Amino acid sequence: MKTKSIRRSILFALALLALQTPRLLAQSLPAPLLEEAAQDCGLTLSGKVLDHDTREALPGATIYLPELDRSAITDEYGNYHFHQLCRGTYMFQVTYVGYETERFNVKLSSSSTRDLQLHSDARMLRTVEVTGEHLKAQAQTQHTLSGQELERTRGLALAETLQGIAGVTVLQTGPTISKPVIHGLHSNRVLLLNNGVRQEGQQWGAEHAPEIDPFVAAEMKVIKGAAGVRYGADAIGGVVLVEPKELPTTPGITGDLHLLGSTNNRQLATSATIEGNFEKLPPLSWRVQGTLRKAGNAKTPDYYLENTGLEEQNFSAAVGYSKEKYGAELYFSHFDTKLGILRESHIGSVQDLLYAIERGKPSRADKAEFTYDISSPYQAVQHDLLKAKGYWHLGEAGKLEFVYGWQRNLREEYELRRGSNTSPSLQLTLNTHTTEAVFEHKPLGNFSGAVGMSTIYQKNNYQYSDFLPYFTSVTAGAFATEKWKKDRLQLEAGLRYDYKHLQVKKFESDRSLIQPTYDFNNISGILGAMYDVGYHFTFGLSATSAWRAPGANELFSEGVHHSAATYEEGDPTLKSEQAYNLELSVDYFSNPRLNGALSVYHNYIRNFIYLAPQPEPILTVRGAFPAFKYTQANATLTGADLNLDYKIAEGLMLESKTSLLYARNLDTDDYLIYMPSNRFDNSLRYEFGHKGSSKLSDAYLSVGGVYVTEQKRVPENTEQDFAPAPAGYFLLQAEAGTTIRFGRQPVEVGITGNNLLNTTYREYLNKLRYFADEPGRLLMLRIRVPLNFSKS
Amino acid sequence: MKKLFKPYLTAFLLGALLISSTSCGDDDPEPVEEGENITSLTLTLEPVSTAKGVNTATATFEAGTTPTLQLVPNTQYNATITLNDNLHTEVRNEAEDHEIFFNAPENLLVVQKNIPEDLDSNGRPLGLRTRMITGNAGESGTLRVTLKHQEGLKDDNSDVSVGDTDIEANFTVSLQ
C-alpha cells in the first residue's frame, strides 16, 4: 500500500508541477519522463468479473496486480476499477472462493474496459460470503451500526446509540429517558425488533424508553421510512433491528468484559459476556451476558438536575443447537431499570408550568447536589423476553424458520403524592405472545424471495390507575416478497395483509363496564428498483407503505396529562393510519477519496393521528387546562439525509452527516409540532494505523461537532406550545481510542467527550426543556477486554 | 410444498395452545379505588371580635366556580381552610411539604400568615389558618388561594411559583 501511495503522490506532484511551473520542470527533469507522466499515465481499467458458464457477476472477487502491488475487490455487481495506470502490459491475477485462480494479460494503451471470466472449481464449495457496509441489498435506505462504530457508543441508552445515523434523532424526557425518532416519527410508529422479536412494551408513551440492553447487540440496523411488509403493521416511520452476535461455532470458551465510567452524572457501567461451544458436542453452544449500570444526578453547566439518576440490571442467556440441516435456539433476557425524573418537572397546573418557564431554572438549582439516590417521581420498568427459534434447510426448496416469543412488560410509575402510600400511581402489565414463520425459497433463476405469516396475541392489565384500559388484541398477518436481479438492475416487490382484533374493557364514569370491540385490517406493500450505473454509482427508488391501527390510548385516554399540562381526550371512532413512503437514493461507494450517500424521501400519511388543540379549556380544581383531542389529518414528512466521507490524506477522514426534515399537516395547512430540526454533524478523524509502538494498534483520534438549528417550523395557526422553540446550538465532541497489548491480551481503551465547551443549551425534542438546561460537559472512559479461556 | 409446512403447523398449534392456556384467567378489571383527591376548598372567616356583631362568612370552591364572600370592611378575621373528606388533616400532617398561598389586592384584603399554631416543624407557615384584615367599604376583587405541594422544595424562598398545585381556588370578595 505504501509504495502505491508514494508512487501516486509522485505522479500527482509531477502533474501539478507540469501544470504550474513548466520552466522549473524543464530544468530539473529530463524531457521524456515528463511526457510520460503527463500523457501516458492516469489511465483507467474497469470491467466485471463473471462466471464463465452462467455469465453471473461475481461480487467480492479479488484482482491483484503483482507489478504494482495493487488490488481491487469487485462490488456487489461484480465491477472492478483501477485508476492511475500507466501505458503498458499488465498481468492480473483474479481470485474468488469456489473458482480457479486465473491470470490475464492486458495491454493498456488507453482507458478501457475488460471483463474477466472465471471457471468454477469443482473441488471447492460454491459459497461465498459478501460483507461490506456499502453494499445495498434493498432499494430502501438502511444503516447498520456494528464493530468499532458500535463500540464507541457503549454506555449510552439505545436511542442515543442510534443518534449517530443521519435521519435518526432522539426524543427525550430529561437525561434518563430517550426514544429513537426516525424521519420525525417515533413511539408506536417505529418498530423495534429485539433479537428478531417485535418489542412490545408500552411504546405509545413519549416518556417510555425502549426496554432493551444495547450491550446485547453486536449490530444495530435502522430501516428508514415505512417498512410494513416484512416486519408487520406499525412500522410507519421505520424499523430498528437489534441483533446479537451469532452463537459461537468453534469449540472453546471466550468472553468480553466492558468497563465504563463517566464524569458529570458519574455513570458506572459494566457488561460481561461469556460464550462457548462444546468440543464433544459441536452443534451445542451457549452464551450468558449481564449488564449493570448506575448513574447519579446529571449536571448542566450551572447546576445539578435533581433526581435524574438511573439504575439498570439486565441479564440474558442463550443456548443453541445447530446442525447443517436444522437447528434451534432458546433465548431469555431480563431487563430491569429505575429511571429518575427531574423533581421539578412534576407540575400540577398550567400556572405551575408557566412559573417554571419564567423562572428559567429549577427553584432549588443553586442548592442541588450530586447523589445516586432516586426518589419520586420515578419509573420502574421490567421486561422479560423468552424466545424460541427453529430452522430447517429444506434441501433444494429453501429454508424454513419459526420464531416464538413471549414478553412481559411491567411498568410502574411513582409520582409525588400525599400520605405514606408507597404503591405506584400507575402499574401496567402487558403480556405478548408472537409467532412468526418465514420460508425463504432458494433462488429460482433471477428470483429470490420469501413468504411468511405471523401472529400477535396481547393482553394489557392495570392497577392503581385506569388511564389505559384493559385490552386484548389478536393480530395475524401474511406476506410475500420477491426480488428479481439481472445484470445491473434489481427489482423487488412485496405485499402483506394484516388483521387486528381489539377488545377493550373500560369503566364508564357511572362505573358500568363497557366492552367495545374493533376490527382493523389493511394491506402494506413495497416496490423497489435499484440500478447500478457503474463507476461505483447505484441509484435506488422505493415506494413502501405501512399502516397502524389506533392504540388503546388514542381511542380511550381521558384526563389531565400532568407532565404535559394538557387535558387529553381519546376518540373511540379513530380509523387506522396509513403511510406511503417514496424514497430516492444515490450511493457513491468504494472510491479512494470521496464516498457518500444521499437519500431524499417523502412520507405521506393518511389519517395521521395527532393531538389537536380544542377551543374550550377544561376547568379543574387546579385551574384551566388547554384541551387536546386525538384527531386525524393527512400529513406529509419530506426530507433528506446526506452522508459524505472524504479522505483528505492517508488515515485522515472528514465525515459529514446532514439531516433535513419538513413536516406538514395538510388539513390545517400548518407545520406539525415536535418535529426534529435540521442537524449537521461533521467530524475529522485520524487513524494512526500500525505506526509506532508494537504494543499499540488501531489508535484513532476524532474531533467534531454537531450543529442543530432552531426549529422554526412550528405550528403557526394555533397556539400549541407553552414556550417558543429553543435557540440552535453547537456541541463540540472529541474521542480517542487504541488497543493496548499486555503480552497476548489485548485491551481496547477509549475516551469520548461530549459538549466539551460546556455549552448551555436546550433541545426542542426534550420534554424537560421548559424546566432546565441540558447536561454540560461529559467525559466517558471505556475499557473493553476480550477474553479467551481456551487452553491453547 | 404441503409437506414443508407440517413442522410449522405443529409448532403453530403448540404456540396457540400455550397462548390459550395462559389467557384462561379471563379477568375483568376492578374499578380503581381513586386515592382521595382534593375536589373542594372551603374558606371560613370568623371575626376576631364578636363585639361588632359581625357574622362568620363561609364559601366553598369547586372546579369551574368562583364563589362570593361578603365581608365587613376594616375588620379582622381568623380564616380557616378545610378540604373535602377531611383531607386538610393529611395536609396538616405533612405541613413540611405543603404551603397555601394567598393573593389579593392589598386594599381589599391583607393576609397574615405565621400564626403560631399554623407553623410546620421547620417554623415555616402552612396557611391552613391565617388572619385576614379587610380594607375600606366598596372594595371588591378576587382572592386566589393556592395549595402547593412542595415536597423537598419548601424553604425560606419557596413562593407560590414552586412545586405542584393541588388546588387553586378563586373567590370574589366584596366589602360592604
Residue A437 — very low, low, confident or very high, per pLDDT cuts 50/70/90?
very high
From chain B, the residues in CB contact with A507 under 8 A are: 29, 31-32
What mean pLDDT comes out for the span A430-455? Answer: 92
Does residue A423 register a pLDDT over 70? Answer: yes
Residue where the block lists cell 491453547 = A792
Query: Which one of A417, A418, A466, A505 makes the best mutation probe of the B interface by having the most chain B beta carbons within 10 Å?
Result: A418
From chain B, the residues in CB contact with A620 under 8 A are: 63
Closest partner residue to A623 (CB to CB) among B38, B41, B168 is B168
Question: Which of helix, strand or coil describes residue B4?
Answer: helix
Beta-bridged to residue A595, according to DSSP, are A645
* Chain A residue nearest residue B13, CA to CA: A435
Closest partner residue to A416 (CB to CB) among B11, B90, B149 is B149
Q: What is the CATH number of the domain that holds B131?
A: 2.60.40
Does residue A374 register a pLDDT over 60? Answer: yes
In A415-469, where do the E strands start and end?
Answer: 426-444, 447-463
Closest partner residue to A421 (CB to CB) among B31, B35, B39 is B35
Return the pLDDT at A105: 79
Portion of chain A with pLDDT greater than 90, in percent = 56
Residue A291 identity (one-letter amino acid): T
Q: Is residue B169 part of a domain?
A: yes
A28 vs A572: CA distance, rounded Å? 86
* Chain B residue nearest residue A399, CA to CA: B4
From chain A, the residues in CB contact with B87 under 8 A are: 418
Return the pLDDT at A124: 40
Return the pLDDT at B4: 47
Closest partner residue to A400 (CB to CB) among B8, B39, B64 is B8
Instruction: Read off the pLDDT of residues B62-105 as tens digits, 9 standing for 90 and up.
Output: 988 999 999 999 999 999 999 998 999 999 999 999 999 999 99
Q: Is residue B131 part of a domain?
A: yes
Average pLDDT, chain A: 87
B11:A348 CB<8 A: no
What's the N-to-C CA distance of chain B in angstroms? Answer: 94
From chain B, the residues in CB contact with A416 under 8 A are: 149, 151, 164
> CA-CA distances (angstroms) from residue A350 to A417, A723, A765, A786, B37?
18, 12, 20, 53, 18
B165:A352 CB<8 A: yes
Does residue A21 register a pLDDT over 60? Answer: no
A418:B90 CB<8 A: yes
A348:B164 CB<8 A: yes
Instruction: Read off the pLDDT of residues A698-717 as tens digits, 9 standing for 90 and up.
Output: 899 999 999 999 999 999 88
Portion of chain B with pLDDT greater than 70, in percent = 84
Q: Is residue B29 part of a domain?
A: no
Q: Name every residue whose Cβ is closer than 8 Å to that of residue A302 and which is 6 or more positions away in sequence.
A: A361, A365, A760, A773, A776
A446 vs A485: CA distance, rounded Å? 5
Return the pLDDT at A653: 94
Q: Residue ranges per domain, chain A?
A: 2-118, 241-788
Q: Name every residue whose Cβ is closer than 8 Å to that of residue A168 and which is 6 or more positions away in sequence.
A: A143, A162, A180, A181, A182, A222, A224, A659
Does residue A16 register a pLDDT over 60? Answer: no
Residue A317 — very low, low, confident or very high, per pLDDT cuts 50/70/90?
very high
Return the pLDDT at A98: 74
From chain B, the residues in CB contact with A440 under 8 A are: none
Q: Measuring CA to CA, which residue among B76, B124, B166 is closest to residue A419?
A: B166
Q: Does A375 touch chain B (CB under 8 A)?
A: yes
Closest partner residue to A457 (CB to CB) among B19, B64, B169 is B19
Closest partner residue to A348 (CB to CB) among B7, B41, B149 is B149
Does residue A137 register a pLDDT over 80? Answer: no
Distance (Å) from the alpha carbon of B153 to chain A's nearest alpha carbon: 7
Q: Does A501 touch chain B (CB under 8 A)?
A: no
Does residue A116 register a pLDDT over 90? Answer: no
The verdict on whether omega for the bond into residue A377 sits within 30 degrees of 0, i.e. cis, is: yes
Instruction: Read off the pLDDT of residues A621-672 as tens digits, 9 standing for 90 and up.
Output: 888 888 889 999 999 999 999 999 999 998 899 999 999 999 999 999 999 9
Q: Is residue B136 part of a domain?
A: yes
Instruction: Read off the pLDDT of residues A726-745 as tens digits, 9 standing for 90 and up.
Output: 999 999 999 999 999 888 88
Does residue A168 register a pLDDT over 90? Answer: yes
Residue A39 — very low, low, confident or very high, per pLDDT cuts 50/70/90?
very low
The percent of chain A in helix, strand and coil, each rounded to the nearest 5, is 10, 55, 35
Chains A & B: contacts with CB separation below 8 Å: 131
In A512-626, where do the E strands start and end?
Answer: 513-514, 517-534, 537-548, 558-561, 566-569, 577-588, 594-613, 618-620, 623-625
By CB neighbour count within 10 A (0-12 exposed, 13-18 middle, 19+ buried), where does A323 fall? exposed
A351:B165 CB<8 A: yes
A431:B8 CB<8 A: no
Q: Is residue B64 part of a domain?
A: yes
What mean pLDDT comes out for the span A237-259? Answer: 91
Beta-bridged to residue A429, according to DSSP, are A410, A461
Does residue A60 register a pLDDT over 70? Answer: yes
Contact A400, B14 (CB under 8 A): no
Return the pLDDT at A417: 77
Q: What is the largest CA-CA distance in chain B?
A: 102
Question: Which of helix, strand or coil describes residue A688?
Answer: strand
Does residue A179 register a pLDDT over 80? Answer: yes
What CATH topology corresponds to A241-788? Answer: Maltoporin; Chain A (2.40.170)
Does residue B111 register a pLDDT over 80? Answer: yes
Residue A539 identity (one-letter amino acid): F
Q: Is residue B146 part of a domain?
A: yes
A604 vs A665: CA distance, rounded Å? 10
Beta-bridged to residue A431, according to DSSP, are A408, A459
Q: Does A505 touch chain B (CB under 8 A)?
A: yes
Instruction: Read off the pLDDT of residues B16-40 as tens digits, 9 standing for 90 and up.
Output: 555 544 544 457 888 877 667 889 9
Residue A3 — very low, low, confident or very high, per pLDDT cuts 50/70/90?
very low
Closest partner residue to B28 (CB to CB) among A513, A562, A621 is A513
- Among A177-186, A509-518, A772-781, whose mean pLDDT is lowest? A509-518
Return the pLDDT at A14: 42
Instruction: Read off the pLDDT of residues A339-370 as tens digits, 9 standing for 90 and up.
Output: 999 988 888 888 888 999 999 999 888 889 99
Return the pLDDT at B3: 46
* Chain A residue nearest residue B41, CA to CA: A621
Give ipTM to 2 decimals. Answer: 0.85
From chain B, the residues in CB contact with A437 under 8 A are: 8, 11-12
- Among A112-121, A180-189, A436-445, whose mean pLDDT is lowest? A112-121
Query: Which one of B19, B84, B149 makes the best mutation probe of the A interface by having the most chain A beta carbons within 10 Å?
Result: B19
Instruction: Read off the pLDDT of residues A270-287 as tens digits, 9 standing for 90 and up.
Output: 999 999 998 888 889 999
What mean pLDDT comes out for the span B10-20? Answer: 54
Residue A28 — very low, low, confident or very high, per pLDDT cuts 50/70/90?
very low
Q: Is residue B98 part of a domain?
A: yes
C-alpha angle A528/A531/A536, rounded to 5°? 135
Q: Is residue B7 part of a domain?
A: no
R_g of chain B computed on alpha carbons: 27
Segments forming the whole domain that contains residue B124: 40-155+162-175
Tell me, rounded to whole angstroms, the distance of Cα B143 from its chain centroid: 15
Q: Name every residue whose Cβ is closer than 8 Å to that of residue B21 and which is 6 or more positions away in sequence.
A: none
Contact A157, A209 (CB under 8 A): yes
Beta-bridged to residue A492, according to DSSP, are A483, A528
What CATH topology corresponds to A2-118? Answer: Immunoglobulin-like (2.60.40)
B168:A622 CB<8 A: yes
Residue A481 — very low, low, confident or very high, per pLDDT cuts 50/70/90?
very high
Residue B114 — very low, low, confident or very high, per pLDDT cuts 50/70/90?
confident
> CA-CA distances (angstroms) from residue A52 to A63, A120, A153, A291, A778?
16, 8, 45, 52, 58
Q: Name every residue whose Cβ is closer than 8 Å to that of residue B14 and which is 6 or more positions away in sequence.
A: none
Q: Does A470 touch chain B (CB under 8 A)?
A: yes
